[in-house]
Amino acid sequence: MTDNPEGMPLLTVEQAASYLQLSTSTIRSYIRSGKLKAFRVAGLRKVLIQREDLLALLEPARPAEL
Nearest to 49 by CA among 35, 63, 61, 59: 35
pLDDT(56) > 60: yes
**37 assigned to some structural domain:** yes
Please compute the mean of the pLDDT values over residues 12-38 and round it to a whole number.
96
**26 assigned to some structural domain:** yes
**21 assigned to some structural domain:** yes
CA distance 12 to 24: 10
Q: Name the residue range of residue 31's domain.
A: 5-55
pTM for this predicted structure: 0.78
Arithmetic mean of pLDDT over the chain: 89
**60 assigned to some structural domain:** no
What separation in angstroms does the CA of 55 have from each of 35, 38, 42, 45, 66? 12, 13, 25, 23, 24
Strands (E), the chain: 10-12, 39-40, 47-50
Structural domains in the chain (count): 1
Please compute the mean of the pLDDT values over residues 27-41 and round it to a whole number.
96
